[in-house]
Amino acid sequence: MSHTRAPLAPERFPDLPPVRGVRAGVGRIGLYKHVRNDLLFAHFPDGASVGGAFTTSSTRSPDVDWCRRALAAGGGKARALVVNAGNSNAFTGAAGAAKNAASAAAACALAGCGPDDVFIAATGVIGQPLPAHTVAEHLPGLWETMTAPDWPSLAAAIATTDTYPKGAGRSVEIDGVTVHLAGIAKGSGMIAPNMATMLVFLFTDAALSPAVTQALISKHVDLTFNTITVDGDTSTSDTLLLFATGASGAPLITDVADPRLAPFETALHEVMLDLALQVVKDGEGAEKLIRIEVQGAHSDASARRIGLSIANSPLLKTAVAGGDANWGRVVMAVGKSGEPIALEKLAIRMGGVWTAREGGAIAYDTAAVDAHFAGRAIDILVDVGLAGGRAVVWTCDLTKRYIEINGDYRS
């Protein structure tokens, strides 16, 4: 984790609620040149329901494939989670599979479970095979130190180029019983919305069936993590998992339409969006958060594609970095999206000021727009004048620091 804290970082790690039914700890494998924790091990003594979402990359890591198989074969049940930073285990062939088999075997021996109850994730450098027992040999010692989760430590252990650990949490009631939800995330580069493009782990002591747990993740990942991008690059290792232990004593929810679930679902959405925006705010070298709203599109999906075309434009992102309110670059990015628009009705608003309307330039208060672009939070609205489709996406500016970080990533 970088020692230079991003300018958009929160003042401190938030106070997260305790989640019953979880033991966890962190340790050091030694995958970094400097001294830091790079291993997370969590245990669910009485089991947990689990739901997940994963990268859509065709070069995904064996860890992602492991989790996908475990979800299907184990029926959405979990007993352990093993995560390492410093090496993504992606594009490592037979060595990557051997590393996961050894890690799972060690976790199974400690937790007294089968391999389909163990979930594995990794983040870091691609294409560097590790000896099979690199992770596994550290799990027995870590098992002896596991306690109730120390959320800041867990978040820091999974970070790579992040400049701060990321966490969010809520407490709500289900049928009169208080349940807690806590989440941690890592991510600051290789972020594009083809799932979640990062590692995200959510823990709750609510009692949710596996089907409900998965349905909630499938719905809300699309409304949160799939609305963000830093650099347009989809990671090989993206993994988002929600574990529900049921240890709160709240009644079991088996139907996602159960009205008793509504407060928890709202809290889950808030936590996921909070974490997603923390990732954007920590975009490698980022100094400004950009909110892009597209309306008037053929459909919501079309609006999202237009928004992402704008958000992933290096020309637009560098203009924002330089404080240049160059709305012509927005026009360009709308056009390259390939989505249908009503050109004669295209309108652009920046910082609450219309800079173009009815398909062309208009006179506007340039001083007000320039002042907006000098700030940390940039707001852009585009109306493509066609129908009722709408979407909001989030990104960050592109600075020289992004090049410095990624030019030296393996150094």
Measured from the Cβ of residue 305, the count of other Cβ atoms closer than 10 Å reads 19
Q: Find tokens 């799990």 and name the residue.
A: 139
Task: Note if 197 is an active site residue.
Answer: yes
Give the number of C-alpha atoms closer than 13 A to the C-alpha of residue 76, restricted to the C-beta side: 18
CB 283 within 8 A of CB 230: yes
Annotated catalytic residue: which of 197, 234, 236, 355?
Answer: 197
User: Which candidate, 76, 87, 269, 102, places its Cα nearest to that of 170?
Assistant: 269
Phi-psi group of 197: left, alpha or beta (phi > 0 → left; psi -120 to 50 → alpha; rest → beta): left
Helix (H) or strand (E) holding 44: strand 39-54
Question: What is the separation of C-alpha 147 from the centre of its chain, rounded to a whole number of angstroms?
Answer: 25
User: Which candidate, 268, 250, 270, 269, places its Cα nearest to that of 260?
Assistant: 250
Q: Find tokens 């990268």 and name the residue.
A: 55
Grouping H, G, I as helix, E, B as strand and the rest as coil, residue 314 is helix
User: In the numeric block, which tokens belong to residue 243?
Assistant: 């574990």
CA dist 283 to 184, 217, 271, Å? 16, 23, 19
Phi-psi group of 58: left, alpha or beta (phi > 0 → left; psi -120 to 50 → alpha; rest → beta): alpha
User: In the numeric block, which tokens belong to residue 133?
Assistant: 């027992």
Point out which residues pair with 169 in neighbouring strands.
182
CA dist 81 to 111, 127, 139, 247, Å? 10, 23, 11, 17
Measured from the Cβ of residue 260, the count of other Cβ atoms closer than 10 Å reads 15
User: In the numeric block, which tokens belong to residue 293?
Assistant: 């709203």
Report, as residue numbers or ranges, the catalytic residues.
197
